Structure 1
Amino acid sequence: MPKSSIMLTRVILTIIGSVMIIDCLILMVFDKINFGSVVPFLLGMVFVAHGIFWRNIRRFICQNRWLSRFWYALWTMFLIWFVSFGVFIYALQQQIEQSTRPIPKVAAIIVLGSGTVAGKPTPTLAKRLDTAAPLIHSQKSALVITSGGIGFGQTRSEANIMATYLYDTYDISLKRILQEGQSTSTAENLIYSQEILAAKGLSIKAPIAIVTSDFHIIRAANIARHQGYLQPIMLASPTPLSIRYNAWFREYFAFVSGWLFGEY
């Protein structure tokens, strides 16, 4: 490889790695320590190390044929993963665009939980509720379900906090909102919501709007269809910019994990 190309590669790796490290450190400072922040942080460290110590790393690796092959194999696997991640992001953006179309008449509206802090919705969950509110107001006959259980250290269910937010912020009557307060995952959100729908005489074969975050829309739709929802109509809320790209990164692995464990 020409020296100019090597230098350009090193500069690009250093810049990208530095941005990833800074971004993840900011998230960690605000207690966002999860897969979507730790893995990019470690990957950023690897990028910066290669950018700064490229010659030393190459000299060390080239001393052993098997180590050199392993090093090249790792970079090949990374490139394959990078391409698959790009395909996932493209599919996600296509799905998000489809969710912006006008929502037809639905039998029910299910809002999926996404965490609470000190009895209040997280910014991500608040965006979901903000997105759901206009649809709830426009479709007066639709059943409304907030879905989310009691988190660690919490005394109220997420569903109850969500319902209170809709009432306080958008004047949506609490009598209209049914609360599913047992679930701890997306799969459980939709399973336990089925029980509420059945109790109200509604079939999961009917058109049902499912409100979730944009990054979560593909996985939620696949889980719903796998459980027998025949007409899930996805409504995507925007993810706060501060965590958007980390959320998309984390969701890629969650999507693969869901496929491996038979969620869809």
Structure 2
Amino acid sequence: MGIITSLLGIVCILYYIAGVRYAGYRVSGLWIWLAAGIGWMVWGGCRIGCAVAGVPFFVPGALVAIVRVCLLAGLVLFFYLEHQIGTGMKAKGIENLDYIVVLGCQVKGTKPSKALKDRLDTAKEYMQANPETIAVLSGGQGKMEEISEAECMRRYLEKAGISRERLILEQRSTTTRQNLRYSRRYMDYRHDEIGIITNNFHVYRSVLLARRSGYQRVCGIAAPCKSVLLYHYLVREAFALAREMLHKR
């Protein structure tokens, strides 16, 4: 058992290193893989050390039972949340929506991050196929960003051939909840047909938030996530979804 937990710790640490090499240290919550890896390795090392020294590795039976129950309950909840997230990962929306809301994501200087570029490419394809649809580009300016996320998106889509007249900028929001609330002013959100474009792992929660914000005719449109960090995003999204489900409307 000690060897298995030690190997699990090594895998977690290697994944953390891969994530840092791919996207840098600024990825939210990435440190949890390093912490988990160290924790598993310490636990495994203690088990192995006791076995080598011939010393019993004693943990009170009551504590073991409590930990097992908590782990089982946590795993059941985690897989339920991942199932819900999975239902939105292939969402394609419907044709001829009145509006699409493209949710902002990290901008590196003035250029879109890889995740944001995936969202923008999906928006571009949808708008080319549905020439009457208007896009609300939602995202303010964060730390280390030279321009707002909305402005970055406008530049990218204009360069891709989308007319400026079809692009509306919402430049105040810094969270998904704010994206959806602040974008409402540009649409008749209770009657218009609206699509939410974001990366696939983020679709289910975004549509849930949109409905809680009063959107009546809303659907998700999933952009791909071509990243080594997809597993991290899925785990992080499960915790965010759990928090959202506990949050009062």
- How high is the TM-score relative to the length of structure 1? 0.83
Contact 2:98 2:133 in 1 (8 A): yes
Which runs of 5 or more structure 2 residues have no equivalent in the other structure?
A: none
Q: Would you say 1:145 and 2:136 are equivalent positions?
A: yes
Alignment of 1:69-218 (within 5 A): 69-97=62-90, 99-100=91-92, 103-168=94-159, 170-197=160-187, 202-218=188-204
More helix by share: 1
User: By how many angstroms is 1:69 displaced?
Assistant: 3.4
Letter in 2 for 1:139: N
Letter in 2 for 1:62: F
Once structures 1 and 2 are overlaid, which stretch shifts more, 234-243 or 11-20? 11-20
Letter in 2 for 1:28: V
4+ residue segments displaced more than 3 Å: 9-12, 32-36, 55-61, 68-72
Measure, in 1, the Cα distance between the counterparts of 2:69 and 2:40.
15
User: By how many angstroms is 1:72 displaced?
Assistant: 4.5
C-alpha distance 28-70 of structure 1, shift in aligned 2 (>3 A): farther
Q: Percent identity?
A: 25
Question: Of residues 235, 256, 261 in structure 1, which corresponds to 2:242?
Answer: 256
Q: Deviations over 1:73-101 (max 9, x none)?
A: 3343233222322222222222223x04x
- Of structures 1 and 2, the one scoring higher in RCO (CA 8 A, sep 6+) is 2
Q: Secondary structure at the match of 1:62?
A: coil
Letter in 2 for 1:191: R
Once structures 1 and 2 are overlaid, which stretch shifts more, 88-97 or 156-165? 88-97
Alignment of 1:232-243 (within 5 A): 232-243=218-229
Question: Of residues 191, 207, 210 in structure 2, which corresponds to 1:221?
Answer: 207
Q: Deviations over 1:149-189 (max 9, x none)?
A: 01124342110101101112x21122221100110111111
Correspondence for 1:4: none
Contact 2:81 2:242 in 1 (8 A): no
Contact 1:10 1:51 in 2 (8 A): yes
Measure, in 2, the Cα distance between the counterparts of 1:41 and 1:246.
12
Letter in 1 for 2:35: L
RMSD: 2.3
C-alpha distance 57-143 of structure 1, shift in aligned 2 (>3 A): farther
Letter in 1 for 2:86: Q
Q: Would you say 1:46 and 2:39 are equivalent positions?
A: yes
